[in-house]
Amino acid sequence: MKWKADWGLRARMGLTMFLLFALYIVFVGALLVYTDGSILLVALVFGSFSLGQFFFSDKLTLWSMGAKEVSENEYPELHGTVGRLSQQADLPKPKVAVVDSKVPNAFATGRSQKNAAVCVTTGLLNALNRDELEGVLAHELAHVKNRDMMVMTIASFLSTIAFMVVRWGWLFGGGGNNDRGQPSVWVAILASFVVWIVSYILIRALSRYREFAADRGGASITGKPSALASALLTIDGRMDKVPKRDLRDEAEMNAFFIIPIKSGIIGKLFSTHPSTEARVERLRELERQMESA
């Protein structure tokens, strides 16, 4: 199966990124007009931290998840599968890592195709058959090929700064004796709050679109959309059986996982992933297209 672009999906992603870009232009303009430079200093400091996180994202993510990079001697079949799928996707072979966790899941990380890592949990290795595991790994490699980690980091860069301005900006608004400077700081805080809320929603929409794209890309790599669909249903069905302690430990990593941790109605509304049902339906439609071609 050839790697074909889904232009409707690309158009939706393009529109979302344009709206984010326009929002951030307004945000930066507001900071320049309504502040005396103190808020911009805060933004610069946190921006520097975000830049550092971007360059060391592969190591930081694996470390935060308790993932261990494994050798070919430790996991020969896993390495062999990742290597073969990487060749099919025309990608450098990423680092391979494993998390000792009952949560059946997988994620990719890294700022570029050359610095990527693919990680799976022991729960995933025990839950899936060979074809299903290939489908999941191909999905993660599609994220790498689409440079999704870089795209989402860039998209959320100013959103993170806006959040930090909201969180810490009150220190500048409430401190000191310069009454003339305080109102402008509160205007900047209000603008940052609006930017953070709107960008939060847009970034999650972008993330859901890119999950659909990775599903399609993974199916293109293996030529077996049904295998990925089966894996998604298997993983989703086992999530409710995972101990609640594990769910709390993993909750902050939703944007990286192939299936997000469920957290009620609000969690689904602002989820980084589309529903499993919607993803499976698209994969089945793709399977039908392949059979009729």
* Residues that are catalytic: 140
Helix pair 148-155, 38-55: axis angle to 10 deg: 170
Task: Look at residue 208 and give its three-state secondary structure.
Answer: helix
146: left (phi over 0), alpha (psi -120 to 50) or beta: alpha
Rounded CA separation 96/115 (Å): 11
Q: Which of 89, 61, 223 is nearest to 145 (CA)?
A: 89
Contact criterion met (CB below 8 Å) for 228 and 215? yes
The helix or strand, by DSSP H or E, that contains position 117, with its residue range, turns out to be strand 117-121
Rounded CA separation 233/2 (Å): 25
Contact criterion met (CB below 8 Å) for 133 and 125? yes
Burial class (CB in 10 A: 0-12, 13-18, 19+), 249: middle
Task: Look at residue 43 and give its three-state secondary structure.
Answer: helix
The helix or strand, by DSSP H or E, that contains position 187, with its residue range, turns out to be helix 181-222
